Amino acid sequence: MKDIKVLTNVIHEYAWGSHTAIPELLGLKTPFDKPMAELWMGAHPKSPSKTDMNGAMVTLADLIKENPKDTLGNYAHDKFGSRLPYLFKVLAAGKPLSIQAHPNEHQAKEGFERENRRAIPLDAGNRNYRDANHKPEYICALTDFWALCGFRRIEETLSYLADACPKSLKRHRDDLSSRPDGSGLKGFFSSLMTLPGEDQQRAVEEAAGHSKRLGSKSPVFEWIVKLHHDYGCDIGVLSPIYLNLVCLKPGEALFLNAGELHAYLHGSGIELMANSDNVLRGGLTPKHVDVPELINILTFEEKDLEIIVPDAVSDLERVYPRKAEEFLLSVISIKTGDMYTASPNRTAEILLCVSGQALLSGEGDANAVAVDKGTSVFVPASAGRYSIKGEATMYKAAI
């Protein structure tokens, strides 16, 4: 199979989604009636993309299963079997997502088997592990993108605690101050997340009250106020105190490894991850929260954020550093008169056009496909050294 395939993708309409970002990308009316949160491109069993095959719509998973070596390429097939190892998304946050983390490979397999033994349905609301895979991921900003990611320096946390919660969390601050290390951080986070209801409400309301006064001092306090407005006295409102806060500019990215606590707050971005839907949540959500299991998978260490930008590998393509064996993210920018030619040693790729128009042509007798803003395509390995002409910007997921 050499043909480049246009994809029809599933859109998830979560309450935190945007009424404008994904509709604008797809050329739909804005504001859209419902919040569009995530556009999935890939072969995950929960929401596989579909494409036309001889007049019938088939899932990308079935297409790959029927032609695994042609679609994935020999290297990818030998490494990952008859499955696409990555999941490509557009994420659009109109309001903050849950505080969450993802398991490592061992934790995912163990958790998936454990919940299977308990006969918890895969689509059950209280299911933590929906597959046996880990979920390292890139988030790359398409707009200004606010996020919380990783535990900030303990001395910073202590300072913000003193400003926001001088009374209600004094004991927690003193405990962390006496053990300013990983074990102290774990103890602090565990005790915070398990505060009794009245104590939790008291801490959040104190933090929100002080933060209204301190808002001009730091975006940390501004976000505490916003989170309190959206989520009331949810304990996650305090997360900017102990997590690194960042605003990514378009093109900037973060890489999140297993066990890294994070929350996406506002903006739209490209996500590329291992092909998994395993999420452990701790707050800022009406969905299932499992604090003990979240604590079990977290990495408790201070982290300085690494904002990642891509490196130019040619005049037309910039590649983000490889951080996981399942995927590689790059951005292709072409102008009229340019021609992008793919590598001869390539694997299965998905491309998403985020602006402009272009023509993709496969090698030999493969078809040519016209794309514009919002169009995504699957390029099988057997399409060979395909080329792109036109004037467009496209994000590319590869193995």
Share of the chain above pLDDT 70, in %: 99
Nearest to 108 by CA among 138, 135, 137: 135
Q: Do residues 203 and 238 make contact, with C-beta atoms less than 8 angstroms apart?
A: yes
Which domain does 345 fall in, by range? 312-398
- Is 340 part of a structural domain of the chain? yes
- Is 392 part of a structural domain of the chain? yes
- In the block, tokens 């690194």 appear at 244
Of 358 and 3, the structure prediction assigns the larger pLDDT to 358
Residue 42 to residue 51: CA distance in whole angstroms: 11
Q: What does DSSP assign to residue 121?
A: -
Which residue type occupies 235? I
- Is 363 part of a structural domain of the chain? yes
What are residue 101's DSSP bridge partners? 280
Is residue 281 annotated as a catalytic residue, yes or no?
A: yes
Q: Do residues 383 and 329 make contact, with C-beta atoms less than 8 angstroms apart?
A: no
Domain count, the chain: 1
Q: What is the pLDDT of residue 365?
A: 58
Q: For the beta carbon of residue 210, count every other beta carbon within 10 angstroms.
A: 18
Q: Three-state DSSP class for 160?
A: helix
Q: Three-state DSSP class for 280?
A: strand
Q: Three-state DSSP class for 15?
A: coil
Q: What does DSSP assign to residue 321?
A: P
- Is 156 part of a structural domain of the chain? no
Q: What is the pLDDT of residues 66-75, one digit of tens each?
A: 989 999 999 9
- In the block, tokens 């199979």 appear at 1
Q: What is the pLDDT of residue 345?
A: 85
Residues 6 or more apart from 229 whose CB is under 8 A from it?
none
> Which of these is catalytic: 83, 130, 281, 346?
281
- Is 375 part of a structural domain of the chain? yes
Rounded to whole angstroms, the maximal C-alpha distance in the chain is 72
pLDDT exceeds 70 at position 53:
yes
Q: What is the pLDDT of residues 233-255, one digit of tens each?
A: 999 999 999 999 999 999 999 99
- Is 366 part of a structural domain of the chain? yes
Q: What is the pLDDT of residues 77-125, one digit of tens each?
A: 999 999 999 999 999 999 999 999 999 999 999 999 999 999 999 889 8
Q: What is the pLDDT of residues 128-137, one digit of tens each?
A: 999 999 999 9
Q: What is the pLDDT of residue 118?
A: 94
Computed from CA positions of residues 129, 130, 136, 138, in that sequence, does the dihedral angle turn out positive or negative? Answer: negative
Q: Do residues 89 and 41 make contact, with C-beta atoms less than 8 angstroms apart?
A: yes
Q: Do residues 309 and 140 make contact, with C-beta atoms less than 8 angstroms apart?
A: no
- What radius of gyration, in Å, describes the C-alpha atoms of the chain? 22
Confidence of residue 366 (pLDDT cuts 50, 70, 90): low
Computed from CA positions of residues 286, 287, 290, 295, in that sequence, does the dihedral angle turn out positive or negative? Answer: negative
pTM flag (> 0.85) = yes
- Is 175 part of a structural domain of the chain? no
Confidence of residue 169 (pLDDT cuts 50, 70, 90): very high
Q: What is the pLDDT of residue 16?
A: 95
Q: What does DSSP assign to residue 21?
A: H
Confidence of residue 216 (pLDDT cuts 50, 70, 90): confident
pLDDT exceeds 90 at position 338:
yes
Domain of 361, CATH number, reads 2.60.120.10
- Is 347 part of a structural domain of the chain? yes
Q: What is the pLDDT of residue 2?
A: 77
Share of the chain above pLDDT 90, in %: 91
What are residue 149's DSSP bridge partners? 262
pLDDT exceeds 80 at position 367:
no
Which residue type occupies 323? K
